[in-house]
Structure 1
């Protein structure tokens, strides 16, 4: 009984090793791998998957058995500049720059149009009003420690507008 179990186990492992070896010992043909860098993007998705699976099966075995062309193809498929690692088109910087300039110009035009239809500034934004606000705050002794009512204060207070035009 023990002998039968051992024989069955050895047969199963031999079959498994044989199928793995058969899948990985046959080198891929040179025409299949020739110019893979130029052909990869144009290949159908199914053909890409089949080639990658064949290379992957070959890489499961001894890497010394891989041909130089298989190693190069496997590296290029895994790390080459295609798909998400593709190089940007040569005129991309120009398009980005022109798009940014167009956005800035559109924003400036929109700002000018909105500004032309806006109401005038409120009366509290005149320099005279802000000076009166400073006088009121000093009379009320507002913020006596470090503000407008403190000793030696040299700031502008609430004045932030230019004098009114006449």
Structure 2
């Protein structure tokens, strides 16, 4: 941004503020002086905001026009994980600005780096280390074995099943009912191993 643009921006902001001052100048001199101070302060902040936004725009346009240096992109696949997050963010912003131009103008290294950063095997997309499946299988089997040990330990200290559930007790109940000429309870169904489940 050139120095000539600063007075224009300041003049434009003061022009918009001087109109209300003229309209209210007849009311009181103290209110007009305070409003003129506010007007000047507003002009300064507007020009400062304009300068910062224009410098950011010019910086992004400069990075979009010029290719990123080759040493910055060389071996990015090996260096990306070890780079500090600040450098990763800066490089990604440079590549993002660079991708706004036509892709035919980008270098091959820029294309490869942009693809790797966007879709490469790093972070949550990183490949699982070798032997990960074996470790998972061993841990699952360990916890299954622990659950069996806990289950059978609890069963050891549990009360025995009631004696009325034994086969002998049920047969004796049927014989007793036949002797007394009462209708015996139905016999328990035999276990059917070939029973189809629906």
One fold, TM greater than 0.5?
yes
Q: Aligned partners of 1:109, 1:100: CA distance in 2, in Å?
A: 14
Structure of higher CA gyration radius? 2
Q: Structure 2: any 5+ residue segments left out of the alignment?
A: 1-53, 192-198
Task: Verify the 8 A CA contact 1:24 1:59 in the aligned structure 2.
Answer: yes
- Are 2:119 and 1:75 aligned? no
Which residue of the other structure, out of 70, 77, 100, is the alignment partner of 1:60?
Answer: 100
- Runs of 4 or more consecutive aligned structure 1 residues displaced over 4 Å after TM superposition: none
Q: Aligned partners of 1:97, 1:118: CA distance in 2, in Å?
A: 32
Q: Aligned partners of 1:44, 1:116: CA distance in 2, in Å?
A: 58
Q: Which string of whole-angstrom CA distances, capped at 9 and with x for unpartnered residues, describes residues 87-141 of structure 1?
A: 01112111111101111211121122111111111123211344447x97x937x
Aligned residues: 132
Instruction: Between the two structures, name the one with larger relative contact order (CA 8 Å, sep ≥ 6).
Output: 1
Q: Structure 1: any 5+ residue segments left out of the alignment?
A: 1-14, 143-147, 149-155, 161-166
Question: TM-score, normalization: structure 1?
Answer: 0.68
Question: TM-score, normalization: structure 2?
Answer: 0.58
Report how far residue 82 of structure 1 moved.
0.4
The aligned counterpart of 1:51 is 91
Q: Aligned partners of 1:85, 1:125: CA distance in 2, in Å?
A: 57
- Are 2:71 and 1:31 aligned? yes
RMSD of the TM alignment (CA)? 2.9
